[in-house]
Amino acid sequence: MNGVARVFFLSSLVFGLAGLLLGNIMAASHDHTQLPTHAHTMVVGWLSFAVFGMFYHQFPAAAASMLAKIHMAVAELSLLVLIVALYMLYGGKMSFEPAAAISSIVYALSFLLFAFIAWRAVSAKR
């Protein structure tokens, strides 16, 4: 596994471990205030990024494209900002709401880019 596929898959493991740690902290403390942060870390960070990594591994031509590199950079950065913003927001720091809103929109745009890349790769005549 190389390039974009490798970055997405390895970062999915990091997000998965971070989400697992946050979930265990919530369980031990009986404070589930950060449940939305935990859910986004696990579903978007762990699961979605693992799927992106596997997709790009299966479609190396798509992974080699500039669009895939843009997808990776935008998705990675926007999710990192989103998770930090959610953590702060659900920790009572309402000033992080704009960062959460903007980063979630940017992540959604990166997902639309992935949908375009994937649709084109899967629909291509072989």
Local confidence band at 91 (pLDDT 50, 70, 90 cut-offs): very high
pTM of the model: 0.92
Compute the average pLDDT of residues 44-56.
97
Total domains present in the chain: 1
CA distance 32 to 107: 25
- In this predicted structure, the answer to whether residue 88 has a pLDDT above a threshold of 80 is yes
Indicate if the pLDDT at residue 104 is higher than 80: yes
Q: Which of 101, 89, 11, 81 is nearest to 51 (CA)?
A: 11
**Domain coverage including residue 37:** 3-123
Residue with more model confidence, 125 or 67 = 67
pLDDT confidence tier of residue 114, bands split at 50, 70 and 90: very high
Alpha helices in the chain (DSSP H): 3-29, 35-40, 49-58, 60-63, 66-90, 97-123
